[in-house]
Amino acid sequence: MIDPSPRHLAWLAPRFLLFFVLLLFAGQSLQAGPGQHAVASAHPLATAAAQEVLAAGGNAFDAAVAVTAALGVVEPQGSGLGGGGFFLLHRADDGYSVMVDARETAPAAAHPDLYLDADGEVIPGLSLDGPLAAGIPGMPAALGHLAANYGRLSLADSLGPAIRLAEEGLPVDATFLQMARFRLQALSDGADAARVFLREGELPEEGEAIVQPQLAATLRRIADRGPAGFYEGEIAQRLVEGVRAAGGIWTLEDLANYELVEREPVVLHYRGARIVSASPPSSGGIAIGQMLNILAAGGNGYGDDEVQRVHLLVEAMRRAYRDRALYLGDPDHVDVPVARLLSAEYASRLRADIDPDRATPSAELPLEAADAAAGPERSALDRESEQTTHFSVMDAEGNRVAATITLNYPFGSGFMPPGTGVLLNNEMDDFAARPGEPNVYGLIGFEANAIRPHRRPLSSMSPTFVETADRVAVLGTPGGSRIITMVLQGILAILDGAGAAEVVQARRFHHQYLPDRIEYETGALGSRVQLQLARRGHALSPQVRPFGNMQVVIWDRTHDRIEVASDPRGNGSAAVFTPATAPEQRGAP
Ligand code: GLY
């Protein structure tokens, strides 16, 4: 029986207080992380590399180092040491979110006419194939930065799985072969890339082993010396000598002066959710923000009508990509009007300009700030392929990483400086080679994205977090210019309650202002929707090739559940596993 005397109450009260405080903290620590690790990446061996590092006591940031390095070995068409990317990080213990910008930079000798002939015409292929197409890589800096500033393990420990994969080799798969066939000429042009990836100038057989001892040696140097093992010393010397001997313009100073930048991500609010995405020099976060703001300007509504939903989304996409072309570029070199582009007033104006019943021809949306008209549209053939890769990680404590990383086109420039094992990017094609000139993805740009020394080319890569009252999602995808609209559709699906598998499986459509057409995957638009959209004046362009390779982790805090999914369009894998137990594999759905 409880003694109600004041003396007894005085004894009980502080103990009750302590009990409630402990309960509160216990609740918070339950909420801080999912208690399980979750990884989704574009290759099972990269997912396994993350698992290995997490099992060794690493956190999500160590796992990010392991996956990044492993993807560069096992999916060399998509990313690698010779490229760059954006890493969106969230640290659970203090709620800090940041974007690590490891985007490539233009060499000091780059200039606006770099890819033009004496008549000012763009020389075909010069910004795509060979070392003149390559920006100064940011990836080695990112690996070192993540390990030193956010990880728990040493850089050498987290690079271990990638070094092993490069030394032991791995069997060629169908995706590698498809992309190598597409880039056969570029890979054949240099002796080193051809020796690693081809067999006497021909494609290897499926299942044949690709072994990369020189890449392993370069990774070991980075493991031993940090990023200086790449940007200085013997490797830097070989990189610069190889690039210059083959017609490139890199210098040792370009490498030594490479600077990674930590940037504030773009933070958006839509339908009660907080959305964190990539800031410039990515166009992703701003374009996604503009599109969501346009939807919000009409009260978020498009009713249940699918035609109206697609029409409105397409008109929002058209306007966001028009502004991408005009205003976005490297924020360290150009004044990007972020606040204006993301303002509710601007979105209301854009929304008011949308005719609910008619497509707005892109030709009627002015390129006011540009001195030149847009160049010719790229044909669908030019956009036959796209690469880049994405992974999503969340550790048991709730640390998370969404990273989209790239060499740009499949196998980047196709050029490997002798004695390095490093395939170089062709990120310089993401600049506007000339005002209004479309790049390989058909994207146009003007002064804000003109080639200048040390500038970062504008990107579409959009690693993203979606945070609602009960769920946290980590997502992203490769896909060239379509990355932004794919991530937008992923965000909307998550806000509509979709699970990870549903998000990655959903069929996708896309509009990018120019070419003025809706591109869509088979099954994305039903026949009634296609007919109605055509009646509204939309040009429709069905695409044979699938869009993207999305990797998603969703933690449902309310139901204490974590879901992962790797896009069925790719060969990736996703896994959830409890710390210190054997991983439970979950392949593509
Ligand atoms: N290289 C593709 C992108 O950054 O958007």
434-472 in b/e burial notation, b at 16+ Cβ within 10 A?
Answer: bbbbbbbbbbbbbbbbbbbebbbbbbbbbbbbbbbeebb
Q: For ligand 1, pick from 430, 439, 449 the residue to mutate: most ligand atoms within 8 Å of CB.
A: 430
Nearest to 42 by CA among 34, 52, 50: 50
Q: How far is the CA of 54 from the centre of ligand 1 (A)?
A: 29
What's the CA gap between 337 and 309, in Å, rounded?
28
Q: Is 293 near ligand 1, meaning CB less than 6 Å away?
A: no
Question: Mean pLDDT, to the nearest integer, of 9-20?
Answer: 47
**CA–centroid distance, residue 461 to ligand 1 (Å):** 6
Confidence of residue 415 (pLDDT cuts 50, 70, 90): very high
Is the C-beta atom of 406 inside 6 A of ligand 1? yes
Q: Is 460 in the pocket of ligand 1 (CB under 6 A)?
A: yes
CA of 458 to the centre of ligand 1 (A): 7
Q: Strands (DSSP E) along 57-189, which ranges?
A: 84-91, 96-102, 170-171
Mean pLDDT of the chain: 92
Which DSSP letter does residue 92 get? T
Q: What is d(CA 583, CA 568) in angstroms, rounded to the nearest whole number?
A: 21
Query: What are the backbone angles phi and psi of residue 543, rounded to the nearest 5°?
Result: -115, 140
426 contacts 128 by C-beta, under 8 angstroms: yes
If we measure between CA atoms, which residue out of 70, 111, 92, 360 comes closest to residue 215?
70
Give the CA-trace dihedral at 396, 144, 47, 483, to 10 degrees.
100
Q: Which residues contact 483 (CB under 8 A, 6 or more apart)?
A: 284, 388, 404, 460, 461, 462, 476, 477, 548
Domains for the chain: give ranges and CATH numbers.
40-264+377-511+545-562+573-587 (3.60.20.40)
Q: How far is the CA of 208 from the centre of ligand 1 (A)?
A: 30
Locate the ligand 1 atom nearest the alpha carbon of residue 457 and give its number. Answer: 4
- Helix axis angle for 306-327 and 527-535, nearest 10°, is 60
What whole-number distance in Å separates Cα of residue 461 and Cα of residue 101? 11
How many Å apart are CA 138 and CA 80, to the nearest integer?
Answer: 10
Q: How far apart are CA 170 and CA 160, in angstroms?
A: 16
Per residue in 16-42, pLDDT (tens digit) is 444 444 334 333 334 579 999 999 999
What is residue 304's predicted lDDT score, i.e. its pLDDT?
76
CA-to-CA distance for 309 and 294, rounded, in angstroms? 12
Residue nearest to atom 3 of ligand 1 (CA): 459
The pLDDT of 253-265, averaged and rounded, is 98
Residue 401 has pLDDT above 80, yes or no: yes
- CB of 430 closer than 6 A to ligand 1? yes
pTM of the model: 0.93
Nearest residue (by CA) to ligand 1, atom 4, is: 459
Distance from C-alpha of 574 to C-alpha of 577, rounded to nearest angstrom: 10
Cα separation, 128 vs 120, in Å, equals: 18
449-477 pLDDT tens trace = 999 999 999 999 999 999 999 999 999 99
Structure tokens given for 289: 């923000």
pLDDT score of 52 more than 80: yes
Tell me what pLDDT residue 400 has.
98
Report whether residue 532 contacts ligand 1, using a CB cutoff of 6 Å.
Answer: no
Q: Residue 460 CA: which ligand 1 atom is closest?
A: 5
Cβ neighbours of residue 121 under 8 Å, at least 6 residues apart?
none
Q: In ligand 1, which atom is closest to the CA atom of 461?
A: 5
Task: Count how many residues are written for the chain.
Answer: 589
- Around Cβ 188, how many Cβ atoms within 10 Å? 15
Q: Is residue 79's pLDDT more than 80?
A: yes
pLDDT digits (tens, 9 = 90+) for 144-201: 999 999 999 999 999 999 999 999 999 999 999 999 999 999 999 999 999 999 999 9
Sheet with 266-270, side-by-side order of all strands: 266-270, 273-277, 464-467, 471-476, 551-556, 561-566
Question: Does ligand 1 come within 6 angstroms of the Cβ of 408?
Answer: yes
Q: Give nearest CA residue, ligand 1 atom 1.
A: 408
Distance between CA atoms of residues 313 and 493, nearest Å: 13
Whole-angstrom distance, CA of residue 27 vs CA of residue 23? 6
Question: How close is the Cα of 408 to the center of ligand 1, in Å?
Answer: 6
The residue whose CB lies within 8 Å of the most ligand 1 atoms, and thus the one to mutate among 404, 407, 408, is 408
CA distance linking residue 296 with residue 298, whole number of Å: 5
Number of H helices, E strands in the chain: 19, 19
Model confidence pLDDT, tens digit, residues 489-507:
999 999 999 999 999 999 9
Strand partners, 555: 472, 562
Q: From ligand 1's centre to the CA of 387, what distance in Å?
A: 9
Ligand 1, residues 128, 406, 413, 431: which to mutate, most atoms within 8 A of Cβ?
406
Atom of ligand 1 nearest to the CA of 283: 5
As a whole number of angstroms, the distance between CA 453 and CA 339 comes to 27
CA dist list (Å): 442 to 350, 406, 515, 519, 572:
23, 18, 7, 12, 27
449 ligand 1 Cβ < 6 A: no
Return the pLDDT at 299: 78
Q: What is the mean pLDDT of residues 304-325?
A: 96
Cβ–ligand 1 distance for 426 under 6 Å, the answer no
Residue 286's region, left for phi above 0, alpha for psi from -120 to 50, else beta, is alpha
| Lowest mean per-residue pLDDT among 75-84, 361-370, 571-580 | 361-370
Beta carbons of 60 and 391 less than 8 angstroms apart = no
Closest CA to 487 of 273, 275, 267: 275
Residue in 461, 508, 458 with CA at minimum distance from that of residue 486: 508
| Average pLDDT, integer, range 80-84 | 98
* Closest listed residue to residue 290, CA positions, set 332, 312, 257, 321: 321
Active-site residue list: 388
Q: What is the spatial distance between Cα 180 and Cα 197, in angstroms, rounded to a whole number?
A: 8
Which stretches of 87-154 are DSSP H helices?
139-149
- The token pair that represents 1 in the structure block: 């029986």
Report which DSSP code applies to 335.
Answer: -
CA of 502 to the centre of ligand 1 (A): 25
Strands 84-91 and 96-102: what pairing?
A: antiparallel
Minimum mean pLDDT range among 98-102, 301-305, 400-404, 574-578: 301-305
pLDDT tens for each residue of 191-248: 999 999 999 999 999 999 999 999 999 999 999 999 999 999 999 999 999 999 999 9
Question: Ligand 1: distance of its center to the CA of 420 in Å?
Answer: 24
